[in-house]
């Protein structure tokens, strides 16, 4: 069986398991829901790893490609919270989000972006790994922030998620700057991609400072965290559509 | 007056303003790339005299907002350091370092911001087509393209299979002659100029991509990279220490926020 087939079957298996997990949670079978979710995440992990050999030789970038890596990171964060926190509701609340993002991934054509001379450096997969992990923290933080606003959760966890998202995002930006310098001659470019990233960084930098001003109470911060995900998804979608064109045409940036 | 300039509330407003401005800028770059992409090839004053129209308003507002943010950050940092430094012996060493790190992060942020300003106003960029046998003048040097050696992926799935390319260059600088090899992702600096290999990778299948010699002088590069890296590392360390303090609950996090 080829790596491409393993990757696809693994992903379909994960999607099915996430769906069953949502169903089990809805039926109040929480232990079963967690168990199926864990199995789904394992299948998803195998799928992600197999993407590294999709082209017949090892190329790490497809492993951390946002479309499939984002739901994997969301699932990993959910499972991590289940392990660290005693409150099991966190994972239940995350399961739905993982399922929705995996469904979105299904809508995109299957395949991986081909390598080109400028992405054959460790800085490229490192950049994407940190950036996608940051996006996952922002999105999960926004989801928990929204639940806090709707009074369906009383946890302040959304704040920690957004803070760590900001740390990962800052690290990704500096790794990206080094990669951009090596590959394109400058750490910053006047492009919608770079300006979108700067916009997101400033937004979350503002969020980080909110906790130092009394008038920005936890509910207001939850609102800002929830709105941030819209920005993150908007800029991500813009870049994913650009990459989709690359996938279809076989072109490069 | 000083209280207002150094207030965190002002930082928050300025950061939200900068985010909005940058979001709008991303839209302009997406929909008007022919007007704004040349900013990558020339200093802002040159671009302004050639390309600027009413659509460039966001550059002016962005520069104003980022300048105000720079002043506010500097004032905040000075204010905090003035409060913190006289009390440095009241805390343990570790705790003092935790308290000091936000100020250091802000100093590194200012370095990176100034680096961007330097690059924007004083950066020099040239894109020169690479053809074997050509001689290209760069500053005080003459650069001779000795040989071009492309390497391809042996994989029929890839439409553009260029894997790497090595260019043999000879530099004649006055009476000195220097030979260098240039590759993708392997730039080098010589005589104050940084040399990069670039290519139009969207060539038709079967056709070799057009190669370019990118020659740059970027006075802000070091500040951007060092400032950004140090800020990110400190940020990770600071939040890790905060969460440790919180988990140990030896001291509540509010006390750390000073």
Residues from chain B contacting residue A210 (CB–CB below 8 Å): 12
**Residue B254 to residue B258: CA distance in whole angstroms:** 7
Contact status, residue B39 vs residue A191, Cβ threshold 8 Å: no
pLDDT in tens, B116-131: 999 999 999 999 999 9
Residue A109 three-state SS = coil
Positive/negative CA dihedral, B3, B4, B5, B7: positive
Contact status, residue B40 vs residue B48, Cβ threshold 8 Å: no
Give ∠ CA A153-A159-A164 in degrees, rounded to 5: 135
A185–B157: do the CB atoms touch at under 8 Å? Answer: no
Predicted local confidence at residue A42, as pLDDT: 98
Predicted local confidence at residue B142, as pLDDT: 94
B257–A212: do the CB atoms touch at under 8 Å? Answer: yes
Residues 6+ positions from B220 with CB-CB distance below 8 Å: B114, B115, B116, B117, B118, B119, B120, B122, B123
**Residue A218 forms contact with B (CB below 8 Å):** no
Note the Cα A80 to chain centre separation in Å.
Answer: 14
Nearest CA distance, A89 vs chain B (angstrom): 21
Note the Cα B190 to chain centre separation in Å.
Answer: 20
Q: Which two tokens stand for residue B77?
A: 């940092």
**Residue A61 forms contact with B (CB below 8 Å):** no
**Residue A68 to residue A129: CA distance in whole angstroms:** 12
Residues from chain B contacting residue A127 (CB–CB below 8 Å): none
Average pLDDT over residues B175-194: 94
Residues 6+ positions from A128 with CB-CB distance below 8 Å: A61, A64, A65, A66, A69, A172
**Residue A58 forms contact with B (CB below 8 Å):** no
Predicted local confidence at residue B191, as pLDDT: 87
Residues β-bridged to residue B167:
B148, B182
pLDDT in tens, A159-199: 999 999 999 999 999 999 999 999 999 999 999 999 999 99
Q: Indicate the burial class of B65 (C-beta count within 10 angstroms; 0-12, 13-18, 19 or more).
A: buried
Predicted local confidence at residue A252, as pLDDT: 46
Report the phi/psi class of residue B199: left, alpha or beta, with left for phi > 0 and alpha for psi in -120 to 50: beta
A187–B125: do the CB atoms touch at under 8 Å? Answer: no
Average pLDDT over residues B39-60: 96
Contact status, residue A180 vs residue A189, Cβ threshold 8 Å: yes
Q: Indicate the burial class of B78 (C-beta count within 10 angstroms; 0-12, 13-18, 19 or more).
A: middle
Q: Which two tokens stand for residue A64?
A: 């951390």
Q: Inform me whether the pLDDT recorded for B60 exceeds 70.
A: yes
Nearest CA distance, B249 vs chain A (angstrom): 16
Q: What percent of chain B has pLDDT over 70?
A: 94
Using 50, 70 and 90 to split pLDDT, how confident is the model at B149? very high
Q: Which is nearest to A80 in space by CA: A94, A66, A101?
A: A94
Strand pairing report for B193-200 and B188-190: antiparallel
**Residue B144 to residue B138: CA distance in whole angstroms:** 10
Q: Which two tokens stand for residue A240?
A: 């994913």
A186–B125: do the CB atoms touch at under 8 Å? Answer: yes
**Strands of the B135-138 sheet, one edge to the other:** B135-138, B141-152, B162-173, B176-183
Residues 6+ positions from A43 with CB-CB distance below 8 Å: A10, A11, A13, A14, A17
Answering whether pTM is above 0.90, one says: yes
In this structure, what DSSP letter does residue A26 have?
A: H
Predicted local confidence at residue A49, as pLDDT: 97
A212–B214: do the CB atoms touch at under 8 Å? Answer: no
Predicted local confidence at residue B206, as pLDDT: 65
Residues 6+ positions from A190 with CB-CB distance below 8 Å: B29, B36, B37, B39, B40
Q: What average pLDDT does the structure give for chain B? A: 91
Nearest CA distance, B173 vs chain A (angstrom): 22
Contacts with B, A 13-52, CB within 8 Å: none
Average pLDDT over residues B27-45: 95
Using 50, 70 and 90 to split pLDDT, how confident is the model at B252? very low
Residue B209 three-state SS = coil
Tens of each residue's pLDDT in chain A, 253 residues: 899 999 999 999 999 999 999 999 999 998 999 999 999 999 999 999 999 999 888 999 999 999 999 999 999 999 998 887 766 677 788 899 999 999 999 888 788 888 889 999 999 999 999 999 999 999 999 999 999 999 887 788 899 999 999 999 999 999 999 999 999 999 999 999 999 999 999 999 999 999 999 889 999 999 999 999 999 999 988 888 877 777 776 654 3
Report the phi/psi class of residue B11: left, alpha or beta, with left for phi > 0 and alpha for psi in -120 to 50: alpha
Nearest CB to A182 within list B19, B185, B236: B185
Residues β-bridged to residue B138:
B141
Nearest CA distance, B208 vs chain A (angstrom): 13
Contact status, residue A196 vs residue B20, Cβ threshold 8 Å: no
Q: Inform me whether the pLDDT recorded for B258 exceeds 60.
A: no
H, E, C per residue of B154-202: CCCCCCCCEEEEEEEEEEEECCEEEEEEEECCECEEECCEEEEEEEECC
Nearest CA distance, B186 vs chain A (angstrom): 6
- Count the alpha carbons within 13 Å of A241 in the hemisphere toward its beta carbon: 8
**Residue A41 to residue A79: CA distance in whole angstroms:** 9
**Residue A202 forms contact with B (CB below 8 Å):** yes
**Residue A227 to residue A238: CA distance in whole angstroms:** 17
Give ∠ CA B77-B82-B88 in degrees, rounded to 5: 110
């Amino acid at each position: 069986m080829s790596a491409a087939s393993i990757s696809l079957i693994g992903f379909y298996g994960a999607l099915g398991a996430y769906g069953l997990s949502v169903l089990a949670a809805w039926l109040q079978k929480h232990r079963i829901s967690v168990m199926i979710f864990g199995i789904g995440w394992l299948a998803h992990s195998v799928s992600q790893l197999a993407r590294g050999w999709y082209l017949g030789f090892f190329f790490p970038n497809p492993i951390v490609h946002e479309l499939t890596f984002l739901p994997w990171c969301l699932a990993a964060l959910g499972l991590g919270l289940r392990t660290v926190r005693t409150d099991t509701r966190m994972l239940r609340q995350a399961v739905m989000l993982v399922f929705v993002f995996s469904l979105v991934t299904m809508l995109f054509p299957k395949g991986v972006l081909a390598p080109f001379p400028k992405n054959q450096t460790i800085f490229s997969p490192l950049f994407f790994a940190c950036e996608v992990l940051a996006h996952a923290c922002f999105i999960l933080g926004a989801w928990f922030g929204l639940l806090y606003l709707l009074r369906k959760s009383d946890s302040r966890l959304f704040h920690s998620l957004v803070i760590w998202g900001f740390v990962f995002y800052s690290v990704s930006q500096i790794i990206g700057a080094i990669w951009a310098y090596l590959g394109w001659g400058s750490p910053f470019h006047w492009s919608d991609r770079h300006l979108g990233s700067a916009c997101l960084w400033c937004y979350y930098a503002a969020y980080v400072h909110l906790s130092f001003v009394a008038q920005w109470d936890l509910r207001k911060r939850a609102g800002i965290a929830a709105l941030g995900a819209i920005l993150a998804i908007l800029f991500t979608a813009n870049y994913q559509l650009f990459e989709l064109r690359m996938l279809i045409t076989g072109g490069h940036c | 007056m000083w209280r207002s300039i150094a207030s965190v509330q002002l930082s928050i407003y300025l950061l939200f303003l900068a985010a909005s401005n940058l979001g709008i800028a991303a839209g302009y770059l997406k929909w008007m790339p022919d007007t704004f992409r040349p900013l990558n090839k020339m200093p802002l004053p040159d671009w302004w005299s050639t390309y600027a129209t009413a659509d460039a308003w966001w550059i002016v507002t962005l520069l104003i907002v980022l300048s105000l943010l720079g002043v506010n950050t500097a004032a905040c940092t000075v204010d905090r350091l003035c409060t913190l430094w006289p009390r440095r012996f009241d805390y343990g060493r570790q705790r003092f370092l935790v308290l000091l790190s936000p100020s250091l992060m802000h100093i590194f942020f200012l370095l990176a911001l100034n680096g961007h300003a330097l690059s924007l106003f004083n950066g020099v960029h040239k894109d020169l087509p690479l053809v074997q046998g050509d001689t290209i003048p760069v500053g005080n040097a003459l650069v001779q393209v000795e040989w071009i050696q492309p390497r391809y992926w042996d994989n029929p799935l890839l439409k553009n299979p260029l894997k790497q390319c090595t260019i043999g260059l000879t530099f004649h600088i006055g009476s000195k002659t220097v030979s260098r090899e240039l590759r993708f992702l392997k730039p080098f600096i010589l005589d104050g100029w940084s040399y990069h290999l670039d290519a139009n990778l969207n060539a038709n299948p079967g056709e070799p991509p057009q190669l370019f010699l990118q020659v740059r002088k970027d006075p802000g590069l070091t500040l951007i990279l060092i400032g950004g890296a140090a800020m990110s590392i400190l940020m990770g360390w600071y939040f890790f220490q905060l969460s440790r303090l919180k988990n140990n609950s030896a001291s509540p996090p509010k006390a750390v926020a000073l």
